């Protein structure tokens, strides 16, 4: 289950980067902000996974 969560978080981060880039390219501030929010969410989830991994060791 942990590995799948890590893959999903990485996918969410990549999708956020794409959204941010698309928003920047089309001058769509809402899409750009949404992409940044997706990236932040993914990074927080990744940090949570690292904490869980640290306690498992």
Please give the Cα distance from 45 to 25 (Å, whole number): 27
pLDDT in tens, 11-53: 999 999 999 999 999 999 999 999 999 999 999 999 998 898 8
C-alpha closest to that of 21 among 38, 45, 41, 42 = 38
pLDDT at 3: 84
* Residue with token string 């949570």: 48
pLDDT at 52: 87
Whole-model pTM: value is 0.85
The pLDDT of residue 6 is: 87
pLDDT band of residue 2 (cuts 50, 70, 90) is: confident
């Amino acid at each position: 289950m942990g590995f799948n969560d890590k893959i999903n978080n990485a996918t969410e981060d990549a999708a956020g980067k794409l959204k941010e880039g698309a928003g920047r390219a089309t001058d769509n501030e809402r899409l750009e902000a949404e992409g940044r929010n997706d990236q932040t969410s993914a990074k927080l989830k990744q940090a949570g996974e690292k904490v869980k991994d640290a306690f498992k060791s």
